[in-house]
Chain A
Amino acid sequence: MRDRKVQKMVTAALFTGAAILFGYVETLLPIPLPVPGMKLGLANIAVLAVLYTAGPGMAAAVDLVRILVNGLMFTGLYGFLFSLAGGAVSLLIMILLYKCGRFGVTGVSAAGALAHQAGQILVAVPLLGSEAVLALLPVLGALAVGTGIVTGLTAAGLIRHLPTDGKV
């Protein structure tokens, strides 16, 4: 019993570390993207991997800790609020689609990426005191779906090489 608990903790810690690192590495890579500020969402690869190998509970835990640590280390309060809103909506959508079982990793990832963007924009409305931000949704949303497909395919490749019971 105790061993399983320890194993779970170690798995969670490992994936959380990977998720934080993915997010950090992304800010260092000078990848030419069509829109500055647009992100590839590499951290979602780790979150997807946890979701498919250790289940929704672990995925939620890993993602929330990732957002908290990122907020403390890099992004500050507003960045934290934005990513928390995005992360929560995205997690919810991804878990629902995953549970539903009809979708592959790519669909879950694309919908999750869009939900992330939509969540951020929705929280921006009260924060900025203007609903004009909503006008950003089509462009940023389309980009999110695109990057979501890419990270989804990448995550699927990774998941195939991981055992499915969360034991790494």
Chain B
Amino acid sequence: MSRKKSVKAIKKADIILIAILAGVLSGFALLSAGRQMPAEGKSAAQVEITLEGETRLYPLDQDTQFTLTTSSGGENTVVIKDGEVRVTEADCPDRICVTMGAISRTGQTIVCMPHQLVIRIKGKDQEIDGVAQ
């Protein structure tokens, strides 16, 4: 047996570190919340769907429903209804996209990492907003 070296489970520095991490994350959260705004004049707002690097646009004010299929056969069902977008069904392992619920504000996103899918609401003020590609 070797000598016992004391391994501290938790030190004062840990608490400070965790507090800093929490602070930085809250800052990020505020920042991304600040970017979102009600999609005013919803006629101008568009739903930008990026699937495996390819982007398509749909109007937010036209109710529709369709299923996206990835090159590997994965499926996500997207529903645009009453100015809201949601993923209602998906066969990805984690189904984060489904639990993210509906989005309706400019800058909000739904992401399905396994299927390389990003759904985002773009407003007409996109350029001014500066959420540049």
Contact = CB atoms under 8 A, between A and B. Distances in A.
A102 to B, nearest CB: 4
Contacts of B108: 135
A134 B50 contact: no
A30 interface: no
Contacts of B32: 134-135, 138
B38 interface: no
Interface string B29-59: 1001000000000000000001011010000
Main secondary structure, interface of A, reads helix
B25 A106 contact: no
A111 B21 contact: yes
B57 to A, nearest CB: 13
Q: Which of under 10, 10 to 19, 20 to 34, or 35 or more describes the interface residues of B?
A: 35 or more
Nearest to B111: A133
B129 interface: no
A50 to B, nearest CB: 13
Nearest to A109: B14
B2 A149 contact: no
Nearest to B28: A138
Given A37-B93, A134-B32, A164-B5, A128 B113 contact: yes
Interface of B: 1-5, 7-11, 13-15, 17-18, 21-22, 25-26, 28-29, 32, 50, 52-53, 55, 93-96, 99, 107-109, 111, 113-114, 116-118, 120, 133
